[in-house]
């Protein structure tokens, strides 16, 4: 993960953490064929999930996202659609048929810890 449509990583996390404090959740647009909503929902159905965001180790290791189309609604099943919660910051990305989002009730940043892969 990296900068998004001109917004730096620290600003994104700050805004998303403020969403969690203000509304109890935040939405993070994620476009990945390897993490489709049904797969993520299945993984998180029986227990709480955890997502680790990884920045590229070298400059140019990931192409920055440039799309910043705003989302205005969400659906857990693509049948019933609800408006995004009042008071939530912008949720942007490429809003096409493949658009999906991870929904977090908390976000933290801890760059001092090591993750043994």
- Domain residues of the chain, as ranges? 9-49+67-104
Helix (H, G, I), strand (E, B) or coil at 20: helix
Under the banding of pLDDT at 50, 70 and 90, the label for residue 111 is: low
In the predicted model, is pLDDT for residue 30 greater than 90? no
pLDDT tens profile 47-87 = 887 888 877 777 766 666 777 899 999 998 889 999 999 99
Q: Which residue has the higher pLDDT, 101 or 57?
A: 101
Task: Provide the pLDDT for residue 62.
Answer: 67
């Amino acid at each position: 993960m990296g900068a998004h449509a001109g917004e730096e990583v620290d600003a994104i996390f700050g805004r998303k953490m403020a969403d969690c404090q203000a509304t109890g959740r935040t939405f993070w647009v994620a476009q990945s064929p390897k993490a489709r909503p049904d797969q993520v929902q299945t993984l998180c159905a029986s227990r709480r999930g955890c997502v680790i965001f990884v920045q590229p180790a070298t400059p140019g290791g990931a192409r920055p996202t440039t799309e910043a189309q705003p989302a205005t609604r969400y659906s857990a099943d693509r049948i019933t659609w609800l408006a995004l919660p009042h008071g939530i910051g912008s949720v942007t990305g490429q809003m096409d048929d493949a658009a999906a989002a991870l929904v977090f009730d908390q976000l933290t940043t801890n760059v001092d810890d090591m993750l043994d892969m």
